[in-house]
Amino acid sequence: MLAGPAREIRLAKIDPAETAGHSKSDSAERISCLREKLAELQEALYAEHQRSLLIVVQGMDTSGKDGAIKNLCLGLDPNGVQLTNFKYPTAEERDHDFLWRVHKAAPRKGAVALWNRSHYEDVLVPLVHGEITKETWRARCANINAFEKLLSDNGVTILKFFLHISKEEQKCRLEARLKESRKLWKFNLADLKERRLWDDYQMAYDDVINSCTTARVPWWIVPADRKWVRNLVMLETVVAALEKMDPKYPAAEFDPKDIAIE
């Protein structure tokens, strides 16, 4: 679902288990075709070297951010991919404005950049934990909109995805981490503390999505209870964005007919 400035989004009214009109039986073939198309478009974008694509992935704990990014990266040329994971700010990052660390990770020309979490952590977590005032929060949202406009004005197409899962599905995924040894490393006791603030985070996301959606840089709400739906919807959206960008291979600066290889 596309969030737009003309309407308010309320996550409570969006079903995180919906299939978005797709069927699981047909999804594997569709995903395979989309990956091939994405690889072709990425190669053209990299060769063109004039514009770039930024993919921002946000969501509650266990919403599938890692898996979603892995799904998008399959088959891509790593030379044209920039992946950044934003954790808790370091001491150096806290000594700068809150956008400093993300601006450094903005995609270079020709690149597809993927952000696992982003600058939105700095308006979500502090708000939920009461670490900033509403006035500061509003100022940061305005700064974010200006920052994203700056990137957009300089040839960066931005796709912002919120992976929307239910509280019940989060419980299942946390329990799965406890039961499977290969997933246990992902379990963090701090996640349980954040889970107790579920309703607060949902309201915070509502406010942030509605405040930081513009005509040029909207939010996409992705039903994420079903991983195959999540993967399919995100691939469709990214491919559609690149098709709209329509990257072109640069023309040769010489006539290939004049070249003789001995």
Q: What is the distance between the alpha carbons of residues 114 and 97, in angstroms, rounded to a whole number?
A: 21
Q: What does the pLDDT average to over 141-156? A: 97
Average per-residue pLDDT for the chain: 93
Q: What is the pLDDT of residues 4-29, one digit of tens each?
A: 555 688 999 999 999 978 888 889 99
pLDDT of residue 129: 94
pLDDT of residue 186: 84
Q: What does the pLDDT average to over 138-160? A: 97
Q: What is the distance between the alpha carbons of residues 252 and 7, in angstroms, rounded to a whole number?
A: 47
Residues of the chain with pLDDT > 90: what percent? 82
Q: What is the pLDDT of residues 16-75, one digit of tens each?
A: 999 978 888 889 999 999 999 999 999 999 999 999 999 999 999 999 999 999 999 998
Q: Do residues 74 and 177 touch, judged by C-beta distance below 8 A? A: no
**Least confident window among 12-16, 100-104, 190-194:** 190-194
Q: Do residues 105 and 73 touch, judged by C-beta distance below 8 A? A: no
Residue among 107, 111, 131 at smallest CA distance from 121: 131
Residue 90 within a domain = yes
Residue 65 within a domain = yes
**Least confident window among 39-53, 75-89, 173-187:** 173-187
Residue 111 within a domain = yes
| Residue 81: pLDDT band with limits 50, 70, 90 | very high
Residue 1 within a domain = no
Residue 182 within a domain = yes
Residue among 28, 24, 114 at smallest CA distance from 66: 114
Q: In total, how many domains does the chain have? A: 1
Residues of the chain with pLDDT > 70: what percent? 97
What CATH number is attached to the domain comprising 91?
3.40.50.300
Q: What does the pLDDT average to over 149-165? A: 97
Q: What is the pLDDT of residues 202-212, one digit of tens each?
A: 999 999 999 99
pLDDT of residue 248: 95
Q: What does the pLDDT average to over 130-149? A: 96
- Pairwise pLDDT comparison (24 vs 142), residue with the higher score: 142
Q: Which residue range forms the structural domain that includes residue 225?
A: 24-247
Residue 126 within a domain = yes
Q: What does the pLDDT average to over 247-251? A: 92
CA atoms within 13 A on the CB side of 113: 25
Q: Do residues 117 and 55 touch, judged by C-beta distance below 8 A? A: no
Which pTM does this prediction carry? 0.93
Residue 43 within a domain = yes
Residue among 242, 229, 114, 208 at smallest CA distance from 163: 229
